[in-house]
Amino acid sequence: MANCSTLAIPITIVGMICAVITALLGFFYAPLVDPNSWNAPEAYRILYWHVPFAWTSFLSFCLLFIGASSWYVRRSESGWTMLVIGSQLGLLFGLGVIISGPIWGSAEWGVPWDWGDVRLNSYALLTSVALFLVMSIRSQPDGEETRDTLAAIGLFGFVLVPVTAVATTLWRNRHPGVILRESGETGVDLEIKQLMGFGALSFFVLFIGLVLLNYSIYSLRRELEEQNRQIDKEVLS
């Protein structure tokens, strides 16, 4: 745990700095996309945060899935901690997607949201699951029954991850496909893909830092609770 505490803050800071650099490069350095392929070529610059937000949110939901499975199989306290952290980070990065997406959609489509697009709606439901988990963890009494229920909901929510990914190519209405793969169709050149990759790496570093930081906090909390229980036993005895 000591190593996690030592590394968490600098890794998080590096991730945040690189994320800011990504935004600055995206807004002031990255070239324009093909104006014949996009209705609002300048608006695409927000995608340098929108896309890494989405990718990192999927990592968060994978962490949630691992934690929920570990809690069910082994009744692991570390597994429950991963579920809690995964739901919190899934909500954080998911809100980044939900906020940035409609900004771009308003410029590119003329409407902030398309209720007929499977990918958009499945992702909104996925973020709603994360919101429900975070609120429930904070409001419900901690116990095995509560943890079992929330872990089941977390496993259900993870099912929406492949659904959202598959919807990228199978049920595409307004939302574009995978930008880094469909460069010919979207008019995305190599320089843009490289900057998008840098953004993905930046958010990945930020994700790792936040995981370590939150894990350190929860570990310290468990140690304090254990010490308080020991003190109470000594006082009562």
- The fraction of the chain above a pLDDT of 70, given in percent, is 88
* pLDDT value of residue 186: 47
Enumerate the H helices of the chain as residue ranges. Answer: 2-28, 47-74, 77-108, 118-139, 144-170, 183-186, 190-236
Q: What is the pLDDT of residues 28-69, one digit of tens each?
A: 888 877 777 778 888 888 989 999 999 999 999 999 999 999
**Closest CA relative to residue 129, chosen from 145, 112, 101, 152:** 152
Q: Check if the beta carbon of residue 160 is closer than 8 Å to that of residue 118.
A: no
- Average pLDDT value over all residues in the chain: 85
* pLDDT value of residue 66: 95
Average pLDDT for 81-89? 96
Average pLDDT for 5-12? 88
* pLDDT value of residue 199: 95
The span from the CA of 132 to the CA of 221, in Å, is 23
The span from the CA of 175 to the CA of 105, in Å, is 9
Q: Tokens 């959202």 appear where?
A: 164
Structural domains of the chain ordered from first start: 2-236 (1.20.120)
* Full-model pTM: 0.87
Is 80 exceeded by the pLDDT of residue 234? no
The span from the CA of 123 to the CA of 145, in Å, is 28
Q: What is the pLDDT of residues 200-230, one digit of tens each?
A: 999 999 999 999 999 998 888 888 878 887 8
* pLDDT value of residue 177: 56
2-28 and 47-74 are packed helices; what angle lies between their axes, rounded to 10 degrees? 150
Q: Residue 225: exposed, middle, or buried by beta-carbon count in 10 A (0-12, 13-18, 19+)?
A: exposed
Q: What is the pLDDT of residues 133-187, one digit of tens each?
A: 999 999 998 889 999 999 999 998 888 888 777 766 665 555 565 555 544 444 4
* pLDDT value of residue 6: 81
